[in-house]
Structure 1
Amino acid sequence: MTIGRYTEIRPSSYYGVGQVGYGLTIGNYSSIGAFGFIGCSGKIEIGNNVMIGPKVSFFAENHNFSDVSSTIRSQEVNNKGIIIEDDCWIGSGVIILDGVTIGHGSVIGAGTLISKDILPESVVVDKRDKNIRFR
Structure 2
Amino acid sequence: MTDVLSDMQNKKRPKKLTKSRDTSMAPDIAVDTQEKNVKEAPEAQNTQVPMDLKGPLESELASIPTIGKRRNLRLGEDIDEQIQDYCRQHEISHDVLIEALFLQLESNTALETEVLKEANNRHRLRKRAGQIRRLLNHY
TM-score w.r.t. length of structure 1: 0.19
> RCO (CA 8 Å, sep 6+): is it higher in 1 or 2?
1
Q: Which has the higher helix share?
A: 2
Structure that is richer in strand per residue = 1
Structure 2 length-normalised TM: 0.18
